[in-house]
């Protein structure tokens, strides 16, 4: 993570409620995908190695919630550029592709970004395990989140419209989840960032009085998997599940 910039943001009560709904949607999607991929890694690490070479295919499947198994002869348009990748998928690979079929109301672009980033993480673990041969290789699994540790929405810069007003030195930020733009007192167009995190102030006990803010991050990732609004309790950090598990 290279840069981290924070700006206060005013939101109406209606906007707050809407974002809280999408926060829960994003949390639910994260945990669902994480559970599915963790299970597949324990039982089918070979499938990760195959799909890792066809990552665009996984991205299309998760963005559009389409089953690669049941495409038949009528290939959807979104799959046409990766049609050749579909032809020779093994059963191991198809099991991984099945993890991508999940309904969610979050931005399709962010659904894709989250899913691909989670896949990349576990594909890296699969490569490490495969390189170890027959040895039992300790593998780090990502812990599921809860509404305390993960209470935000993440959006990529490409999912929004920025309109800078020079007279007020403010940027209107149009995000997919709200009908009206959010106003931020700065020229966000000139700043270097790719991820916007919208939430109430992190590392605090949340109440209706907790201020809302926008964090801008210049990240190498299109979705930041390990960003936490509050640290995990020490009891969780010391648990066997959070540290290392073996196949």
* Burial category of 166 from C-beta neighbours within 10 Å (exposed 0-12, middle 13-18, buried 19 and up): exposed
- Cα distances (Å, whole numbers) of residue 55 to 120, 165, 184, 205: 9, 39, 35, 39
Question: What pLDDT is stored for residue 27 in this prediction?
Answer: 97
Question: What pLDDT is stored for residue 232 in this prediction?
Answer: 60
Please list the pLDDT of the chain residue by residue as tens digits (247 residues): 456 899 999 999 999 999 999 999 999 999 999 999 999 998 888 999 999 988 888 998 899 888 887 776 667 777 777 777 777 788 889 888 888 889 999 999 999 999 999 999 999 999 988 887 755 565 788 999 999 999 999 999 999 999 999 999 999 999 999 999 999 999 999 999 999 999 999 887 888 889 999 999 999 999 999 999 987 654 433 444 333 333 3
Question: What pLDDT is stored for residue 236 in this prediction?
Answer: 39
What lies within 8 Å, CB to CB, of 120 at 6+ separation is 52, 55
**Where along the chain do its domains lie?**
3-25+145-237, 27-131
Q: Which long-range contacts (CB under 8 A, 24 or more apart) does 86-91 make?
A: 86/57, 89/50, 90/47, 90/50
* pTM, full prediction: 0.88
Question: What pLDDT is stored for residue 164 in this prediction?
Answer: 97
* Residue pair 194/208 in contact by the 8 Å Cβ criterion: no
Question: What pLDDT is stored for residue 241 in this prediction?
Answer: 39
């Amino acid at each position: 993570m290279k840069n981290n910039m924070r700006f206060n943001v005013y939101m109406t009560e209606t906007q707050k409620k809407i974002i809280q709904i999408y926060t829960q949607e994003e949390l639910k999607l994260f945990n669902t995908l994480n559970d599915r991929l963790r299970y597949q890694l324990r039982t089918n690490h070979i499938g990760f190695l195959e799909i890792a070479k066809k990552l665009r295919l996984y991205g299309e499947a998760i963005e559009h919630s389409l089953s690669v198994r049941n495409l038949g002869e009528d290939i959807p348009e979104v799959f046409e550029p990766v049609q050749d990748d579909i032809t020779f998928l093994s059963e191991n690979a198809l099991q991984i592709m099945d993890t991508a079929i999940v309904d969610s109301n979050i931005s399709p672009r962010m659904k894709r970004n989250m899913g691909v980033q989670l896949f990349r993480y576990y594909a890296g673990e699969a490569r490490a395990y495969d390189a170890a041969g027959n040895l039992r290789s300790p593998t780090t699994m990502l812990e599921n989140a809860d509404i305390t540790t993960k209470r935000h929405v993440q959006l990529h810069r490409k999912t929004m419209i920025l309109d800078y007003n020079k007279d007020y030195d403010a940027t209107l930020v149009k995000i997919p989840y709200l009908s009206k733009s959010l106003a931020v007192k700065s020229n966000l167009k000139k700043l270097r960032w790719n991820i916007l995190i919208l939430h109430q102030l992190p590392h605090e006990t949340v109440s209706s009085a907790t201020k809302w803010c926008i964090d801008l991050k210049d990240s190498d990732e299109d979705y930041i998997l390990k960003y936490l609004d509050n640290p995990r309790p020490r009891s969780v950090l010391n648990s066997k599940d959070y540290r290392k598990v073996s196949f």
